[in-house]
Amino acid sequence: MALKNVLLAAVAIAPAAVYAQSGAYGQCGGIGWSGSKTCVSGYTCTYGNDWYSQCLPGQPPQSTQQPTSTKTTSTTKPPTTVTTATTTTGGNPGTTVIPTGPAVTGNPFLDKKIYANPYYSSEIHTLAIPQMTGAAKAAASKVAEVGTFVWLDTMAKVPSLDTYLGNIAAINAAGASQEVIANFVVYDLPDRDCAALASNGEYSIANGGVAKYKTYIDTIRGHLVKHSNVKVVLVIEPDSLANMVTNMGVAKCANAASTYKSLTVYAMEQLNLPNVSMYLDAGHAGWLGWAANIGPTADMFGELYTLAGKPKAVRGLATNVSNYNGFSVAQCAAFTSPNVNCDEKRYINALAPLLTAKGFPAHFIVDTSRSGVQPGGRVEWGDWCNVSGSGFGPRPTTNTGDALVDSFVWIKPGGECDGTSDTSAVRYDGHCGVASAMKPAPEAGQWFQAFFNMLVVNANPSF
């Protein structure tokens, strides 16, 4: 309690610093952006979408428009072994490539270090820390060192894979004490976020989105093949397949269903590389853990996995991505009743045998980035937007206490906003206006300093 009081006193916000240029991987434009629109040497301000532009290495301008980031809407272990890669066919249709790196089997996180996302680190050091003092400032520096996933939520961000993967290869070649692995979120389906508004993406099915998405996947694949000596973990399309289980009554989801499924199969096929481990997104306990949903969930994953040819690179499922659920709680929150699967551990252990029966690999990773306080400020289990009272959760580790769970991970970069509270905004979602949502909040993906301060103060365990 004493430390928490010190941290609370320390987060008094100082006047925001003014920067002549945005730093590497920093924001440089977008609706509502008032900072610098130029980048440091070697980086170019690159359009992502209307709400977000980013300083990316060696990238020519994609557009004169301004950009969007996304709603970001997180034991005994089998050993990891290395075998020789074999010829793999994929990439652009008709292209055969021969990756030369090692193939990954078993838990890809075991005895590995997760790459500390330099973009997220840059946000913390250039946006957050200048506004913090004392114990909170010191804690924020430690947050910047935590391995966190990179979101490839627009095509404009895909070329940055070269920089990230090249950097990781150099770190490993220099003799890192633990081999560093890369971690990315594949998140750019056409008509994305079909049951919400906060994270609508850049592609639409009606405007050539299917072909554009295939190009997006093919381009990712090309970078992964080029850097086949780097082991990579991919989380595939948060929220997408979960919506196919529960939101077929939403016209946009019903219209997108066949596209979501076929493109997920395409992604599994094309990213089935020896150095890659994929986890498909499986919502969370409060979404798919209900008795009426869990069976259809297993059926769907089994069907799509089979349609994709049961690719070896598909390791399992990711749960609680960008959400706030605890992994294992001592007492179920009242709002979870009557769902007996009131936390991620219960959900995973209920889902696993159903997946196995369908031939799908029952291994999991859990996003614990914002699960430090339970139940937090949520009034309803469906509260997902900028939840007040939240804190950073358990750090990434393979010591999960559950043989089904490969690792706790930080998929959502805490401090990047879930969605705007501005009711006049095009992407305003009602969930960002409920009592539990912190306000005022910027657009999804933009830096939310007050929320980051809260996550630091409430971190459990503390930094």
Catalytic residues: 193, 239, 418
3-state secondary structure of 129: helix
Residue 318 pairs in a beta bridge with: 281, 365
Cα–Cα distance, 391 to 413 (Å, whole number): 12
- Is 267 within 8 Å of 237 (Cβ atoms)? yes
Cα–Cα distance, 177 to 135 (Å, whole number): 29
Please, which residues have CB within 8 angstroms of residue 53's CB and are 6 or more apart in sequence? 27, 28, 29, 30, 33, 37, 45, 46, 47, 66, 67
Of 198, 155, 122, the closest CA to residue 49 belongs to 155
Cα–Cα distance, 163 to 405 (Å, whole number): 30
- Is 182 within 8 Å of 232 (Cβ atoms)? yes
| Residue appearing with tokens 């493109």 | 263
Please, which residues have CB within 8 angstroms of residue 417's CB and are 6 or more apart in sequence? 386, 441, 442, 443, 444, 445, 446, 447, 448, 451
How many Cβ atoms are within 10 Å of 245's Cβ, its own excluded?
Answer: 22
How many Cβ atoms are within 10 Å of 347's Cβ, its own excluded?
Answer: 30
- Is 283 within 8 Å of 319 (Cβ atoms)? yes
